[in-house]
A and B are shown apart, each in its own frame.
Chain A
Amino acid sequence: MSNEIAILGVGMHPWGKWGHNFVEYGVAAARAAIADAGIDWKDVGFVSGAATMRNGYPGYVAGATFAQALGWQGAEVNTSYAACASGSQALAAARTKILAGECEVALVVGADTTPKGFLAPAKGYRPEDPDWVRFYLGITNPTYFALYARRRMDIYGDTEEDFGLVKVKNSEHGFTNPNARYKKKFTLEDVAQSAMVADPLRLLNVCATSDGGAAMIVCSMDYAKKMGKADAVKVAAISTVTPTFASEVVEMPDIATDSAAAAGVDAHRFRASLPVKAYEEAGISPKDVSVAEVYDLSSALELDWYEDLQLCERGEAAQLVRNGDTRLGGRIPVNTSGGLACFGEAVPAQALAQVCELTWQLRGQAGDRQVPNAKVGITANQGLFGHGSSVIVKR
């Protein structure tokens, strides 16, 4: 296929609350990816960074910041910002550059240092900013995830225990992952005894924010052949579609959905639209997926993703986790890395970390987390302001 690129190398800096400069994590991840690819840093012709908004100007120009830290060597540079999908946007920029024939090998990298506590909006009286409005009215991030979770309970009959099963599964998966921040096997009892944050979600159902870094070296198929790596894991599709008007689900940070009152306008579910384009682009059916990494900002949200990825019919996701279908050894393992439950969210690195995990899975290098004979992997994530992505990799 002409629109494929190869993933030559992947690397991460472990997630945690290290409190160091984000550049350190990005450099460590980049160097790991470069070493994994078996190339020299000076062979990289394009550096595509995912921006962080929490670390001042160096974060806004992350691509250049990492390029300088690794040593200016004349490569072209790009920085992408798309909230939680920033890493995928940076990967898409690298793919475009490679497929256009403008470069052979690119470094894609994202890293973040997160502040402690709640992320609060800027002060003052600013009703034109939806983020300010919702905090002023007492609506925080967990509110949205709790609304989605409660709706699953009232419409589909999901239970708090189902959400607990997701957390237990992910904590078992991440237990041996050297890059995970939380390495503790939680039980259903641990989850049920943790403090209620936003009913029905408890502390152990919602993810934290973390420091971390992830990177990959991608290249043209010709370059991969030249390196003797024609069988490298390939990027088969990248979807970064925007929503379609009108929104069916109230999304953070909005106080209301779009109105679908106009003639010819239907309400659309943004999350479900993300993988549709990825499946089409890759020519791959949901039935072909061996392993998936999804954005479990809450453990209930992971169940929404099963349905959005078409791994089951709408309303049936809880049955998958009850059956053990999505745990290691099951029919379609999800979040073998441990997911956000074990990592916490490092925004610009997270979408890349998902692809790193799938690359290790498809290479058979995932150790205790290995899905036997994994051939096709898909990621999914969604962020603020109409950003989201889904990436398909295949062997």
Chain B
Amino acid sequence: MSAKPVNAAIEGWHTLDTDKPQLLGSRCDSCGTYYFPKMLKYCRNPSCDSSDFSEVPLSRTGKIWSYTNACYKPPEPFVADDPFVPYAIAAVELAEEQMIVLGQVIKGIDVDQLKVGMEVELVLETLHETDEDTKVTWKWKPA
């Protein structure tokens, strides 16, 4: 492992807890709608005009709604390994929040190991390295 400092690829979107990381979202204080990414300004529920929110960590487990993979290197700002290594992607339903969150699946898992309805948990894994640090992001891992 590199000795570089570890930072979130997108600052403030998840905790850096290596054991049980969580996405950091928000919740409307008035109607209870969750947001990821965080919304702290205006509630998008058409029946709610609240502007008061609390930051909340989101459920770190969910069920796969659907999944796929990326067989070709995406364009920038994606930073690809050289040579490019395909990776799987999952859309995961969070029961408490009643929302679906996309993310890569951890390295080494391909689509033939995934299934709609499968339980997954959130982990952190390297997205890419820079000269100064290692950028980690949330990924889904079969539970």
Contacts and interface: CB of A to CB of B under 8 A. Distances in A.
9 closest A-B pairs by CB: A146-B68, A154-B116, A259-B34, A120-B75, A151-B66, A118-B75, A262-B31, A147-B66, A260-B98
B100 A155 contact: no
Contacts of A69: none
30 contacts: A117-B75, A118-B74, A123-B76, A123-B77, A136-B9, A140-B74, A147-B89, A148-B66, A149-B68, A150-B111, A151-B116, A154-B66, A197-B72, A198-B71, A201-B68, A245-B44, A246-B45, A246-B99, A250-B91, A250-B100, A256-B36, A256-B101, A257-B100, A258-B99, A259-B34, A259-B35, A259-B99, A261-B99, A262-B45, A265-B47
Interface stretch (A14-22, A93-101, A127-135, A331-339): A127-135
A263 B33 CA distance: 9
Contacts of B72: 197
Contact of B78 (A136, A199, A264): A136
Contacts of B96: 261
B67 A147 contact: yes
A147 B91 contact: yes
A35 interface: no
B6 interface: no
A137 interface: yes
Contacts of A143: 68, 70, 89, 102
Contacts of B33: 246, 258-259, 261-262, 265
Given A136-B78, A154-B115, A154-B116, A261 B98 contact: yes
B35 to A, nearest CB: 7
A258 B44 contact: yes
Given A199-B68, A261-B32, A261-B97, 17 more contacts: A135-B75, A136-B10, A137-B78, A137-B102, A143-B70, A147-B66, A195-B71, A196-B71, A198-B68, A201-B68, A256-B102, A257-B99, A259-B98, A261-B96, A261-B98, A262-B28, A262-B33
A138 B10 CA distance: 13
B11 interface: yes
Interface in A13-63: none
B78 A135 contact: yes
B65 A151 contact: yes
Interface string A55-89: 00000000000000000000000000000000000
Question: Binding site of A, secondary structure by majority: helix, strand, loop or mixed?
Answer: loop
Given A136-B78, A256-B102, A262-B31, A150 B70 contact: no
Among B46, B47, B68, B116, max chain A CB count under 10 A is at B68
Contacts of A149: 68
Contact of A264 (B47, B97, B117): B47
A127 B11 contact: yes
Interface residue tally on A, bucketed by range: 35 or more
Given A127-B10, A138-B104, A245 B70 contact: no
Contacts of B31: 262-263, 265
A138 B9 CA distance: 12
B102 A134 contact: yes
Interface of B: 9-11, 13, 28, 31-37, 44-48, 65-72, 74-78, 87, 89, 91, 96-104, 111, 115-117, 127, 137
Contacts of B71: 195-199
Contacts of A138: 70, 74, 78, 87, 89, 104
B48 to A, nearest CB: 7
Contacts of B28: 262
A198 B137 CA distance: 21
A246 B97 CA distance: 12
A255 B97 contact: no
A265 B47 CA distance: 9
Interface string A181-214: 0000000000000011111110000000000000
Contacts of B116: 150-151, 154-155
A85 B133 CA distance: 43
Given A198-B69, A199-B68, A262-B48, A133 B35 contact: no
Given A133-B10, A245-B46, A262-B31, A199 B100 contact: no
Contacts of A135: 74-78
A140 B76 contact: no
A320 interface: no
Nearest to B111: A199
